[in-house]
Amino acid sequence: MEELKKIEDMAGHIKEYAQVRIAEARLEVVEKAAGVVSRLVARMFVALIFVVCVTFAATAGALVLGKWMGSAAGGFFVAAGFFFLAGIVAVLAKQRLICEPVMDEIIHQLYENNEED
């Protein structure tokens, strides 16, 4: 009878241990996901500021080119052509320039804590 009680107690402890481990795993996943998302949001914010700066610089460059060419529209067409070519290059090289580095960074962020343990 006492052995049955010990087995029941042990089964209860094992069940409790399993629940604690599952909860710990969930917390680790949430912590890592939150870290990845927070870094992504921070980088998107920096990228947004960069895009705004590039937009103003491109507008100023187009105005300068327009003044130099004698036609404001011509300056904006030259600037638009430059960005069109840059867009084509970005589309053609998006896998190598965008997708792979982003995936590598996310994987690095997810496994960053494992290397410290």
Q: Which residue has the tokens 């036609």?
A: 71
Give residue 114's pLDDT.
55
pLDDT 10s per residue in the chain (117 long)?
788 888 888 888 999 999 999 999 999 888 888 888 888 889 889 999 999 999 999 999 999 999 999 998 999 999 999 999 999 998 898 888 788 888 888 888 777 755 554
Residue 35 CA to residue 112 CA, distance in Å, equals: 11
Instruction: Tell me the two tokens of residue 52.
Output: 């705004």
Residue 62 phi/psi, 5-degree rounding, is: -65, -40
| Total count of domains within the chain | 1
Domain ranges, residue 104: 2-116
Q: Against a cut of 0.85, is the pTM above it?
A: no
Let me know: does 108 contact 40? Beta carbons within 8 Å.
no
Give tens-digit pLDDT for 75-92. Answer: 999 999 999 999 999 889
Q: Which residue has the tokens 């090289």?
A: 93
What is the SS3 assignment for 93? Answer: coil
